[in-house]
Amino acid sequence: MALYLFSAWTLALMFAAVVGTWHGGSAAYGLPAAVGLGGLLLVLLLRRQTWSDAPLRRRPDATAQQTQWAGELCHNISSPSVTIEGPTISFANQAFLALLDYRGRADEVVGLPFTNLLHPVDHARFASLFAIAAGSTPTAADSMLRMVSATGLPVKLHASISPLPAVPGSLLIQFSPDAAAVPARDDSEHDMPVVLDQIDLVLFKTDTEGRIGYLNRAWERLTGRSVADCRGRLLSAAVHPEERDGVQRSLLSVASGQLDQLVSEVRLVAASGNVFWVMLRAQSCTLPDGDLAGVVGTLTEVTRRRRSEELGSSRRYLNTLLANVPGMVYRGRNDPDWTMEFVSDGCVDLTGYEPWELVDNRRVAFGSLIHPEDREFVWSQVQANLAQHKPYQISYRIADVNGVYLWVWEQGRGVFSSQGELLVIEGFITDVSERRGAEERARRRMWFEARTGMTSRPIFDALLAWTLHQFQVGGAPFALLWVDVFGMEDLVPQYSQEVSEQVLAEVARRFRPVSYPGAAVSYLEKHQFAVLLTDFRAGQAARELAGSNELIPAVSKLAARLLQELTATLRVGDSEVVIAAAAGIALGDARYIGIESMFEAARRAATQAVELGSGHCEFADE
């Protein structure tokens, strides 16, 4: 635009000069002068209009290339520097980041308002500097500013703010240490009492009797007692009464030179009555001439550490205790999965799973371990007791890691808030399979004996003991048969437990040849039976046996008839099963001092008969 106006003005002057020459006279000079003066007036008017409109025009934004240039400039400056666009930090060099402890964390600085790193006290001062540097006539400005480091500590710096003409809207701020912050002279000796009073560590000095001569202000902050009131008093007076005499003796030993130093954790009593732990360190104070002037030392509070150690010790003791409990201690949620929040190490022995596998159902939910037939029972029992805020005790089956079910007994309770809201459930689970198995075996034995009419084992043992005694007194003959029904074990995998028990009951009914008043039959275990014979006639005409020559054939005959009955084919459902049986016989003899030895002799004879095959019987060795 300026070039166009200048060209037009030049052409007008040339045209006015030509026209003036044509007319001659004064027109030759007056016409060009008038055109030149008019052009000057027009230029002045345009410039004045430009000045008046300058504040109203928006300053152009910086281009991406200009912004990149500003960043490279800031990066290459060795002193701590930042560039800002408006109030926002656009670049910060490494020296600036290191100065405020933001090394390697530029992303936490760039893009944030500069005032975020400025101490609130200096916000107004920075606004004044910013107005000068970014005003209509940008000029450099400098002043002292307090920045805030990443640790929250103020850093006093000299800041110089300069506009960047090549980058519209940007300012460069350079920092240097504030020279006024460096002390001009060394007053350390005069300032030492002030410094000692600001240390967060109790410093003390006592005389040779343990009376306080000096305390810094940390004593007041620690104990709540005035330094002035404590001077001249025994330091041990602030110690807990249970430890006061021991501390006083130790301080006197240090003051007299008997102990080089004292390091001990003791309890102090504050002015409020609160008791806290401190680390007491003391050593003798020796004058330049070698005389002992008392004791100097420090007190450091260690209450938090002591409580942490005591808590850790309690937790270790609790963990050790829980690890040795024969069962699983738990804390969990009241949901159908029985989600566990804590499980003791006892769950490894109980279930085979590690504690972390059960917590939060990471691998398996405890609810899935409960036998499907028992899940509804467990849920209803627990909910019924929780509804009444009562503890619960239940017994049910769970599967271990191998899928084997075992009986467990659980005792637990709900933990409720002050408003009665159920928070968690806590309890203890232990294995009772052995007890349940014993109860089950006793129940089945009673059912078996009632169904077959056999004599219970305790009564049979009593009868055998009485018969053995009568033999030793009067010589009445008798015999003990150990009958081993083998091959029954093969039926268990083929049939259910109920069918196997029915087969065993049928086998027991086949002891009819020895089912008369002079005999008793009892079921031992593992398909083995015991038969006590005191009458060998077996339904024949009564007559007295002449001796062992007649006793052995009579017992053999009864045993053969019994084995023949036992080994007969047995029908199970639609199939037939062949039962194998053999017997061992022990005759009454004085060498048996008790029923145990007689049982053992008959058992050994039965083992020999089994080796010979089904239907055989063997007498015990004489």
Instruction: Verify that 479 and 406 share a domain, yes or no.
Output: no
**pLDDT at position 51:** 45
Say if residue 254 is in the same domain as residue 350: no
Spatial separation of the C-alpha atoms in residues 502 and 618, rounded to whole Å: 29
Give the rounded distance of the alpha carbon of 32 from its chain centre.
Answer: 100
Does one domain contain both 133 and 30?
no
Predicted pLDDT of residue 542: 37
Same domain, 572 and 615: yes
Residue 206 lies in a domain: yes
The verdict on 347 and 483 lying in the same domain is no
Q: What is the pLDDT of residue 575?
A: 72
State which of 401, 431, 461 marks the end of a domain.
Answer: 431
Name the percent of the chain lying above pLDDT 70: 77
**Does one domain contain both 199 and 153?**
no
Residue 24 resides in a domain:
yes
Q: Is residue 547 assigned to a domain?
A: yes
Q: Which residue would you say has higher pLDDT here, 443 or 599?
A: 599
Please spell the DSSP secondary structure of 26-81, one letter per residue.
Answer: THHHHHHHHHHHHHHHHHHHHHHHHHHHGGGSPPPPPPHHHHHHHHHHHHH-SS-E
d(CA 387, CA 413): 11
| pLDDT confidence of residue 342 | 87
Instruction: Let me know: does 87 contact 134? Beta carbons within 8 Å.
Output: no
User: Does one domain contain both 452 and 558?
Assistant: yes
Find all residues with CB under 8 Å of 27, minimum gap 6, and list them. Answer: 19, 20
Model pLDDT, residue 412: 92
- By three-state DSSP, how is residue 384 classified? helix
Does any domain span residue 114?
yes
Per-residue model confidence (pLDDT) at position 349:
85
pLDDT at 544 over 60: no
Domain assignment of residue 34, given as a range = 2-47
Residue 325 binned pLDDT confidence (cut-offs 50, 70, 90): low
Q: Which of 375, 405, 431 is the last residue of a domain?
A: 431
Q: Are residues 163 and 260 in the same domain?
A: no
Q: What is the pLDDT of residues 135-183, one digit of tens each?
A: 777 777 788 888 888 888 888 888 888 887 777 778 888 888 765 544 4
Of 224 and 567, the structure prediction assigns the larger pLDDT to: 224
> If DSSP codes are grouped into helix, strand and coil, which group holds residue 589?
coil
Which residue, of 260, 279, 306, is where some domain finishes?
306
Q: pLDDT tens digit string along 374-419?
A: 889 899 889 999 999 999 998 888 999 888 888 888 999 999 888 8
3-state secondary structure of 228: helix
pLDDT tens, residue by residue, 44-68: 666 655 544 444 344 455 677 777 7
Per-residue model confidence (pLDDT) at position 541: 37
Q: For residue 558, give the nearest of 472, 612, 617, 475 by alpha carbon.
A: 617
Q: What is the CATH number of the domain that holds 414?
A: 3.30.450.20
At a CB cut-off of 8 Å and minimum separation 6, what does 559 contact?
481, 583, 585, 617
Are 253 and 359 found together in one domain? no
Structurally, the chain folds into a number of domains equal to: 5
Q: What share of the chain is helix, strand, coil (3-state, %, to 5)?
A: 45, 25, 30
Residues 386 and 477 in one domain: no
* pLDDT-derived band at 368, boundaries 50, 70, 90: very high
115 pLDDT more than 90: no
**pLDDT band at residue 576, thresholds of 50, 70 and 90?**
confident
Mean predicted confidence (pLDDT) in 349-360: 89
* Position 194 confidence tier, pLDDT thresholds 50, 70, 90: confident
Closest CA relative to residue 134, chosen from 161, 174, 159, 160: 161
How crowded is the C-beta side of 324, counted as CA atoms within 13 Å?
Answer: 5
DSSP 169-223: TEEEEEEEE-GGGS-SS--HHHHHHHHHHHSSSEEEEE-TTSBEEEE-THHHHHH
Please say whether the beta carbons of 370 and 377 come within 8 A: no
Residue 163 within a domain = yes
Q: Hey, is 279 helix, strand or coil?
A: strand
In a domain, 439, yes or no: no
Find the mean pLDDT for residues 555-572.
Answer: 82
pLDDT tens digits along 421-479: 888 899 999 888 777 666 656 665 665 665 566 777 888 888 888 888 888 888 788 88
| Whole-angstrom distance, CA of residue 98 vs CA of residue 80 | 9
Would you give the end-to-end CA distance of the chain in angstroms? 144
Residues 515 and 562 in one domain: yes
The reported pLDDT for the residue numbered 392 is 92
pLDDT for 313 equals 59
385 exposure class (CB count in 10 Å sphere: 0-12, 13-18, 19+): middle
Give the list of residues 6+ apart from residue 383 with CB closer than 8 angstroms, or none.
334
- The mean pLDDT of the chain is 79
More confident residue, 57 or 2: 2
Q: How far apart are CA 600 and CA 586, in angstroms?
A: 9
Residues 228 and 217: their CA atoms lie apart, in Å, by 10
Q: Are 558 and 510 in contact (CB under 8 A)?
A: no
Helix H or strand E encompassing 268: strand 261-269
As separate numbers, helices (DSSP H) first and strands (DSSP E) second, the chain gives: 20, 22
Pairing mode of beta strands 88-92, 261-269: unpaired
CA 381, 387, 388, 393 torsion-angle sign: positive
pLDDT of residue 75 exceeding 70: yes
- CATH number of the domain at 597, please: 3.30.70.270
Contact 280, 263 (CB under 8 A): yes
Assess if residue 510 is contained within a domain. yes
Please check whether residues 196 and 160 belong to one and the same domain: no
112-126, 354-368, 544-558: range with lowest mean pLDDT: 544-558
Phi and psi at residue 542, to the nearest 5°:
-65, 130
Higher pLDDT among residues 151 and 192, named by residue: 151
Please report, as a single letter, which amino acid is at residue 430: T
User: 22: which residues sit within 8 A by CB, 6+ positions away?
Assistant: none
Is residue 464 in a domain?
yes
